[in-house]
Structure 1
Amino acid sequence: MTEVERRPEEVGEILVKVQEDLHHLKEHLMQKSLSDGHRELIDLTALQNAIQKTEDGIKAQSEKIIQVVNNRVTTLPSVDASSKAKTMEPSSFSQESVFDLSGLGSDLPLRRISNKGLADKKLVSRYTAVDPLGGGGGPCGPSPGQQAKLLYNLKAIQDPTSTLNRKVVSDNYGVSLPLIVDKRHKVPTQKVVMGSNVEHLAVLPKANRVDPQLIPPPISEKDARKGILSLMERGLIPPAAELTLDPSPVRQKLQTLHDAQDKKNIPKGPPLGFGDGSFNLASVKLDLDPYPMEPMPTRPIVARRPRSASLAESPEPAWVSPRSGATSAKSARSLVPVKNMEPLPPPTTPASEFKHLHHRFAIQHGRLRESSKDFAAFKQHYCLSWGNIVTMLRHLEKLLGNYAVPLAFINGDKLADLAVEFELDKPPTTKALLGVIMNIDDVMALLNRPGRRFLGPDGEDVAATKIQSTWRRYKDRSQYLEYRRKKWAAGVIAISWVMHVKMAMVRKQLKETRKIQLEEFRRRTKDFSASWDRIQRNRRVIVHIPSLGYSQKIRTTIGDFNIQQNQQMARLCDLHDPNVEVIYVSPVNINDETLQYYNKLLGLRPAVESGNVEDQRDMSDRFKIIVPEAINSFPTHSMCLSTLLKYSPRALQRIQNLTAGKEAYIVPGVMHKDDLSLAHELNLPILGCEPEVSHLYSTKSGSKRIFASAEVDVPPSDFDVYSLEQLHESLAQLVTDNLDVKRYLFKLDDEFDGRGIAYCDITPHLRCHSWAKKEAARYGEKWAKKWAQEPAYIKIRAEVPDILANNATPINKKLYSSWPKFLEAFLSQGGVIEACPPSDSVTAITVNILITPDGKVTLVSSGDQIHAHSPFTCWGLSVPQSSVDPGQLNRACAKVAKSCLQRSVMGYFAVDFVTFIDPNTRDQKLWAVDLNLWYDDTVSTTGLMLYVSGGTLNNKTCEFHVPPPKKERKKSIRRRYEDLEPEEPPNTSRYAVMSTRLLHTNLAVVHYSVFFQMCRAHGIGFDIKEKQGTAFTLIDSYKREGIGMLTVGEELQGTLASFARNLSVIHQEISAPNMQGQSNFQAAIEDIEGILGTTIQNMDRPEDEEAK
């Protein structure tokens, strides 16, 4: 059995504390007697408390020792031990016999037996233990075997966990130990789960983070427990939420400030005992009147339970009383459980009680009041370190004196600490000095007041110094700013000059490069012209680059510019010539669905020629679609396709590989300088003219020069107008010459497709119009003379500015919202003034012409324009044209082509005419109004028409014919008397209506496969046998809002009606009442209906004339 360890030094500690307490009491009494010189009553409470504590401590330790001794297991002495004791002489014993079993690992305390008791009584004490090691070799001692057995039994007794423990105790001592079952259970090994075991906290949903106007989600109770800060960090509480409680749980109240000189009378309690120990000197009596003391009950003895048999358990806490004198009044008799600790260090002398002193003194008007008691006490307390404190005091006096602080209270203790801190360091900072001031708020308010520094003793000198330094600073700062401005300007000038020089070098290099490219272009064009016939007869590769090389200013205003460039996908239909291979450079990405559609469309050519649907063939080996890799690299630069291809080396390399060793040439769109660069890089000729020539004669003023040199009829107009004065004069002269013209058009030079047009009705708002007509009638044929027109011209010129300002209207409101903005653009780039045809029925005609490299002129197509939103914008064509005599049209086209050929124009270009009936002469007029020197959309669509129908277009007669269908051979038995009627020849005449500008936003929600199934369900398709029907061109694979459509029929009216019906069906199928979308279908349908009405009237008019 084991006992709780007890420290034998605890009794010694008590005695040492008693000695210390008595020593302190003695010194206290001596000081009292020496200082006062007379006897006084001495408080014996402290002495009695110390004596009582000492007595209680000694009693408690004695009881512990007795208890330990009584709880030991003792054994009776053996017979051998008693006989041995009898034979042993008293002189053979030492003064004390000590049996120390600590070498065996025992925790039993030492046992001391007095020899004197044994000699007197001649008896062996019942507490004597058997010495297993003594007398090992003597005849009376145990044998070595017995000694070994005894040691083994002792080890078994000392080890409670040994299996022989119960047996040895039972055999030797007759004690049956209780069976202690180890109730500890082995903790089962569990599988370690990796990962976080903390649940994710709820955060603000993404919808609320994107749209803060949405209602935030409710806060659960679990999230609310995390606190307001957590909710705000996770976004569940908006950052601007008002979290202040109303009313506030914390209320403000004025604090009462007491005078620092007033002191409170704090009642003194009974003096505490000296030291930490306690003792009892009840037997000591002094000749003084003691204070009455309350009787203290005897401290109870708490029984200790034995230590557990398990070695793994920690020792039980022991009950000790607290030693603190300050808490002895409350818990002197309470027992506090503490754990058994390591042996305490040697006892030390307790430190005397420290009393915190607080020193405060004042500095008034920058002077220290050295005569005050507070300062004297402070000086006496810190006399040993007074030298450093004096330095700090001088700094404080200087600071407070400079700012004329009337009164400042100083914390002496902080000042002493500051003096120690800055003893060997640099002088203290102002912030550090202000830290020792107790009324810091009042002092800071004075220090921060403007001009306070100048109220000190040397305030005038400081003010003068401040003024001088401020002026010097201002002067130096001004000089420095001027120097920095000049330095910055010099740097800007230097950088600008360097950039100018570099840009000049780059421009020079580019100019030389452009010159070299232009010379190479001319050389290749010359060779191209010489070998054109040979190229046309042999296999060749045509590289189509549908680039719109407009100026940068125009390209930035075109929406979906790349889709606009891709409206010429029908260029692939050049495959109708078996000797042609096509490389099409696409400005947009082509998906598999679109590529599959064009594979099937181009594979219809053999089936169209044979009339059998099963004769389709794969044409994928004869055309390649190349997409430059740079189309997505410059999304905001609005670059044309030629520029993007120039910056796509992989696409260029692929084109070079496909054209290597073959006859090839490039068919461009709108010519651009980068087309020359591509031709130089690919070493291929271009079927087009120089970019400068193309841009010059494609302007409105340039086309007027071509028409003037070609001597074709043009509307009354004036071109190259660049000033407002010239605009008014030209318009007034045109009105004077043509009093019957109601409306005039104003066209910008560098625009296309009717975007830069404005109109104004002049004569309805002209007050002198009736008078001018009378004057014209009065002069008759002499009205053409300037002297006859002079009075009317002056009046018209005076009215023109107001008429334009009030009635001129731009066509395209998106680009030019008002006449002033249009006029600004008109005067910046120039334009033309043109008379509108004086008729309500005007038909616009577009003729596409090709000038081959060998100088031959070919009419590619001609058609009547179909308009949608604007009468000045071509939306589609009906081919061939049927509005004017073909001979008259061909003669005008030949003149224009000849004039273009004289100006080195080559390739494809389009001429726009208008035709109407002159109201005065009732003759049909044909005016040339526009010229576009580039590959037009209608050229590619005409190629698609010829490809899917297998027909030919005779532009001299303006007729479109298809080959007749092949007849199937059938065996027929002719009867003798049967009347055989001759069969009518099939109608091979065809008309086509085409457009590449079908726009409907709802097309984006329908896949192409679903769209074609819908068309087949409504009978919209192309009949290969009859060579009529409808075909589509897919333009955009990304947005899918625009498509092209071609309808072929036997009659013009039927074809127009079929085209309008197709538009109506598609609109109804892809639209809903609540989702109509943006579309130009309805405007086109209305224009087609107007054309149908005009056509019916034109057909009825000859019948009426014949009837008459």
Structure 2
Amino acid sequence: MDNPCAFSPKAVEQFHQLQQQLRNLWRSVETLDISDVDIVVIPSLSLDQRELQKIEGFHHYEERLLFSLIRLRNPRTRLVYITSQPLHPGIVDYYLQLLPGIPFSHARDRLLLLSTYDSSLNPLSQKILDRPRLIERIRQAVRPNCSFMICYNSTNAERELSIRTGIPLYALDPDLLIWGTKGGSRQIFVEAEVPHPDGSESVWSVSDLAIAAAELWERQPYLRRMVVKLNEGFSGEGNALLDLRSIREVAPGKGSHQARVDAVSEHFHCLQFESKGETWEKFSSRIPELGAIVEAFLEGDKRSPSVQGRITPLGEVEILSTHDQILGGPSGQIYLGCRFPADAAYRLQLQELGMRVGRCLAEKGAIERFGVDFVAVHQPNQDDKPEWDMQAIEINLRKGGTTHPFMTLKFLTNGRYDVSSGLFYSQQGRPKYYIATDNLQKDHYRGLLPNDLMDIIAHHQLHFDTGTETGTVFHLMGCLSEFGKVGLTSIGNSPQQAEDIYNKLVNAMDEETRSPEVFSEESMRLPMLWSGGY
């Protein structure tokens, strides 16, 4: 976590004055997206780099914000996109050719691509700060009082970049980052009266973590498992599972409090980590720096829905979307993809709970995106309870894995989200559905270049059709050759059509790469969640 105290009061005030300019730019959701402005995109993953290294090809995740190029469908918008390494020209061309009714050359003339030519592990924002001449190029590329900056997540580096360029940052004030940590999320859930699993506040040592775990066990004597989470994680990679069944001899009623603390502390060495290659030694070394919590693991038939919203510069809270997340990993805590929208059985409840969280965040001064992840536990045949018990587990104060698929849909169709139904409608009035993933990954995809992917798309007619507003939009194409990994959003006019489009794409890629019938465990699995509730 950044230390906000590194900034002088004068610098902080300068940043706040810049953010006040956003109020003047803002008229409504629609006009900010289509108005005559210059947009600077900083797709820096300014997160703990040790956590990011658990993600294969994470340095290509700067491509996830390339959906922003679709903003160029407005003929008056200009856009600056900065990356650590230059983007493959074919990837840029791919996005610009998605723009309906806009000549390719016209869109390309309004796009400035810049690069730091730096492949180090430092976040992109820091790389830019280390290059004063690049900062000056950015300053000269935009019009004063008619521009804003967007980013993946906001830290001190993005704040300093905003100050040094004089461009308002449309993102969270880094002083409020605490509310996006695991411990901070739990505090918001209490204040907003949103149901959440029993657990602890943030702790900063292994000994305090063991005490917190023992106390949680004592509050819930029948608990079988609990989750240990670093305060900062990415896609569930900072989570681990503590199985209490192997130390039942010190369960509440059988052993003393100190015996439980000692047993839990010893058993930390047997944690089941979600991330490959993680060890207790590495995990525990980050607790004093990042903090950690322990939380009850919810058993049973469950799903992982989420709700996304944003807080405007005027302090208004809007719900943008709901999703059912597709999770993998040893205990199902790693984000693989999502389906839009969430099941009708609980999507409106998700919206209501998301509004509570958004209003609480707005009161604290937060702006821009927030997402809330839930666990929905199925409890059938209980007349006095809802069919699904919703428990909030995390707030993300950044763009997440569900941001780029939804914004891709919105920008391509220029449609609208209907909060009364939780559905998204195109301008033609058609409800839209999609499946999206960052993790279509198979060994036999390795070696495919972006141009090879374009050949496959063209031959099998897998492209997005602007006429029917259906098809697949790709991202993370830079990951494909080295890691055999690509991201995509398959859009249909029904849940089944979106599923069919996705399956057609996977079959085509397997056919073109002569894949074996048995795929690796890392292959993207998409079990059907839609069951007539839509």
Q: Which amino acid aligns with 1:1066?
A: M
Aligned pair 1:631/2:117, yes or no?
yes
* Residues 1007 and 1039 of structure 1, relative CA distance in 2, 3 Å threshold: closer
| C-alpha deviation, 1:511, in angstroms | 7.6
Structure 1 position 722, deviation (Å) = 3.2
Aligned to 1:686: 169
**One-letter amino acid of the structure 2 residue matched with residue 721 of structure 1:** V
Give the equivalent residue in structure 1 for 2:182: 700
Answer yes or no: is the 8 Å Cα contact 1:562–1:588 preserved in 2: no
In the alignment, which of 1010, 1015, 1018 is matched to residue 452 of structure 2? 1010
> Cα gap change, 1:1002/1:620 in structure 2, threshold over 3 Å: closer, same or farther?
farther
**Aligned 1:283-294 pairs, distance under 5 A:** none
Query: Which of 869, 872, 877 is the aligned partner of 2:333?
Result: 872
1:594 correspondence with 2:91: yes
Q: 1:943 aligns with which of 407, 418, 425?
A: 407
Aligned residues of 2:71 and 2:77 also touching (Cα < 8 A):
yes
CA distance in 2, matches of 1:959, 1:512: 44
Q: Residues 765-784 of structure 1 correspond to what in structure 2 (within 5 A)?
A: 765-767=247-249
Q: Give the direction of change, closer, same or farther, for the CA distance of 1:806–1:527 in structure 2 (3 Å limit).
A: closer
Q: Secondary structure at the match of 1:911?
A: strand
TM-superposed deviation, 1:706: 1.5
Q: How far is 1:901 from its partner?
A: 1.2
Distance 1:743 1:650 in 2: 53
* CA drift at 1:667: 0.9
Q: CA deviation at 1:916?
A: 1.2
Aligned partner of residue 548 in structure 1, secondary structure:
coil
**In structure 2, what is the equivalent of residue 1021 of structure 1?**
463
Correspondent of 2:433 among 991, 998, 1002 = 991
Task: Note the C-alpha offset of 1:530.
Answer: 4.6
Give the Å deviation of 1:893. 0.8
CA contact (8 A) 1:1047 1:1059 kept: yes
How much has 1:659 moved relative to structure 2?
A: 1.1
Q: Secondary structure at the match of 1:931?
A: strand
Looking at structure 2, the residues matched to 816 and 570 of structure 1 have their Cα atoms a distance apart, in angstroms, of 32
In the TM superposition, residue 689 of structure 1 has moved relative to its aligned partner by: 2.3
Matched, 1:758 2:255: no
User: CA separation of 1:1003/1:601 partners in 2, compared to 1, >3 Å: closer, same or farther?
Assistant: farther
- Name the structure where helix makes up a greater proportion of residues: 1
| Structure 2 SS opposite 1:719 | coil
> In structure 1, what is the Cα distance between the partners aligned to 2:264 and 2:442?
38
Secondary structure of the equivalent of 1:639? coil
CA contact (8 A) 2:431 2:493 kept: yes
- CA–CA distance in structure 2, aligned partners of residues 862 and 577 of structure 1: 27
Structure 2 equivalent of residue 961 of structure 1: 425
State the partner residue of 1:816.
278
Shift of 1:877: 1.2
Alignment match, 1:655: 138
For normalisation by structure 2, the TM-score amounts to 0.86
Secondary structure at the counterpart of residue 685 of structure 1: coil
> Do structure 1's residue 641 and structure 2's residue 124 form an aligned pair?
yes
Query: Once the 2 structures are TM-superposed, how far is the Cα of residue 906 of structure 1 from its aligned partner?
Result: 1.2
The AA in structure 2 aligned to 1:516 is K
Paired residue secondary structure (1:620): helix
Report the equivalent of 1:713: 195
- Kept in 1: contact 2:207–2:265 (CA 8 A): no
Partners of 2:449 and 2:289 in 1: CA distance? 46
Alpha-carbon distance in 1 for matches of 2:5, 2:360: 30
Instruction: Give the match for residue 506 of structure 2.
Output: 1063
* Aligned counterparts of 2:86 and 2:521: Cα–Cα separation in 1: 24
Name which structure has the greater RCO, CA cutoff 8 Å, separation 6+: 2
- Ranges in structure 1 where 5+ consecutive residues have no aligned partner: 1-509, 607-614, 773-791, 965-986, 1103-1108
Taking the aligned partners of 1:1057 and 1:1037, their CA distance within structure 2 comes to 24
Match of 1:727 among 180, 196, 209: 209
Q: Which amino acid aligns with 1:716?
A: D
Aligned-pair distance for 1:520? 0.6
* Residues 1:885 and 2:371 are matched in the alignment: no
Please point out which of 313, 317, 332 is paired with 1:857. 317
Distance 1:704 1:625 in 2: 41
TM-score by length of 1: 0.44
SS class of match (1:846): strand
Q: Secondary structure at the match of 2:81?
A: strand
Q: 1:526 aligns with which of 20, 35, 38?
A: 20
Ranges in structure 2 where 5+ consecutive residues have no aligned partner: none
Q: How does 1:121-520 map to 2 (within 5 A)?
A: 514-520=8-14
- Distance in 2, Cα, partners of 1:646 & 1:587: 12
What percent identity do the matched residue pairs reach?
A: 20
d(CA) in 1 for partners of 2:7 and 2:217?
Answer: 49
Cα 1:576–1:912 change in 2 (3 A) is farther
Cα shift at 1:936: 2.2
Contact 2:476–2:486 (8 Å) recurs in 1: yes
Give me the whole-angstrom Cα distance separating, in 1, the residues matched to 2:479 and 2:501.
26
Structure 2 counterpart SS, 1:701: helix
1:825–1:661 CA distance, 2 compared to 1 (3 A): closer
**Matched residue SS, 1:862:** strand
Max radius of gyration: which structure?
1
Distance 1:690 1:816 in 2: 32
CA RMSD of aligned residues (A): 3.3
**Structure 2 matches for 1:781-796, cutoff 5 A?**
792=253, 795=256
In structure 1, distance between residues paired with 2:6 and 2:448: 52
Deviation at 1:902, TM superposition (A): 1.8
Task: After the TM superposition, list the runs of 4 or more consecutive aligned residues in structure 1 that deviate by more than 6 angstroms.
Answer: 510-513, 1076-1079
Q: Is the 8 A contact 1:733 1:793 kept in 2?
A: no
Amino acid at match of 1:523: Q
Structure 2 residue identity aligned to 1:889: L
Q: CA deviation at 1:654?
A: 3.1
Say if 2:310 and 2:367, in contact at 8 Å, map to a contact too. yes
CA distance in structure 1 between the partners assigned to 2:431 and 2:63 by the alignment: 31
The yes-or-no answer on 1:934 pairing with 2:398 is yes
Deviation track 1:146-194 (CA, whole Å, cap 9, x = no partner) reads xxxxxxxxxxxxxxxxxxxxxxxxxxxxxxxxxxxxxxxxxxxxxxxxx
Cα distance change on mapping 1:528 and 1:804 into 2, 3 Å = same
Choose from 54, 57, 72 the match for 1:575. Answer: 72
Match of 2:157 among 662, 665, 674: 674
Count of residue pairs brought into register by the alignment: 522
Equivalent residues of 2:37, 2:147 under 8 A apart: yes
* 1:542 correspondence with 2:28: no
* Aligned mates of 1:763, 1:1034 — CA distance in 2: 41
Structure 1 position 732, deviation (Å): 3.0
Q: Which has the higher strand share?
A: 2
Q: CA deviation at 1:912?
A: 0.9
Task: Determine if contact 1:689/1:905 at 8 Å carries over to the other structure.
Answer: yes
Aligned to 1:843: 303
Partners of 1:1051 and 1:813 in 2: how far apart? 34
**Does the CA-based 8 Å contact 1:548-1:671 persist in structure 2?**
no
8 Å Cα contact 1:541-1:580 kept in structure 2: yes
Distance, in Å, in 2 between the alignment partners of 1:722 and 1:1049 is: 46
1:851–1:907 contact (8 Å) kept in structure 2: yes
Given that 1:540 and 1:662 are in contact with CA atoms closer than 8 Å, whether structure 2 keeps it comes out as no
- Structure 1 residue 616: Cα displacement: 6.2
Change (3 A) 1:554 1:719: same
In 2, Cα distance between the equivalents of 1:801 and 1:698? 31
Matched to 2:513, the amino acid is: I
- Structure 1 residues 935, 1072: CA separation in 2 closer, same or farther (over 3 Å shift)? closer
Q: Distance in 1 between matches of 2:475 and 2:417?
A: 21
| 8 Å CA contact 2:306, 2:323 repeated in 1 | yes
